[in-house]
Structure 1
Amino acid sequence: MANYIMDLREMVGRRPLVMAGAGVIVRNKEGELLLQLRSDTKDWGLPGGALELGESLEGTARRELFEETGLHAERFSFLRICSGPEFYAQYPNGDEVYNVISVYEANGISGEFSMTDGESLDLRYFPLDDLPELNHITRKMLTDLLIP
């Protein structure tokens, strides 16, 4: 989590925060979706994370994609903003957030998988008709975009 969020947590404790961030859709040549097995919640979701102070949302997508997967993208296509009560999350440590997530599709992918930030337990591509159990936020982000 960004230092900004940790600084806020010192002031407000575990109370709900509004957290802006980005989620990144990456597909391989076969159209399969890249998912990350998260180390904190032990569930599958899209790469992504919180906006840092002074950062653009596309910059967040670029940074989080690299930090969590080791991949680079030539360009990002903005797809949608996700917000509302269905994007509430309580983390295992008790922290609560209401997410405002900009969803981007990454194009022109290069690089090799790398999980050095401690946030990923596994990275895999899945066919859209055979996705693993997704965390509720990822499922909501993908509804109407990729998953009927």
Structure 2
Amino acid sequence: MADDIQWDLPNPFIHHISVQKDETDRLGHTNNQVYLKWLEDISWAHITSLGMDWAMHDRLSKAMAITRTEIDYLAATYNGDELIVGTWINESDGRITSKRKFQIVRADNHKTVIRAQSFYACIDLKSGRPARMPKEFIEVHNQAMAQHQG
């Protein structure tokens, strides 16, 4: 149960993952690119659940683009492993940048296998250049950070 997990921060937004054979590499481990995809997938699911869907991005012509991702691989995962991915928006300057943390744990023993963080900058979708966050983005970020307070 996800309630019994020792999360790094309170109240994560979570997704359940089952590692598939085609997601493993030659060593039999989950491929690094797959972890990145899972982090991106849960990020989109989280902000979409808060109302920051693609229609909002398109209407405002703004998006939060990843500028850096750091991943600490603490243990390998394999085909058939059941995992729980947790995420939190834990920082936002309310202007241009934000930060999101991730934790991936094995469902059976609650061992943390990945800790990661991604850094974001708001960009204008037409120019690709940095831009101030629209008030709608700031509101969603503030809502997310409030949900993940202890």
Q: Kindly name which structure, 1 or 2, has the bigger radius of gyration based on alpha carbons.
A: 2
TM-score (norm 2): 0.32
TM-score (norm 1): 0.32
Q: Which has the higher helix share?
A: 2
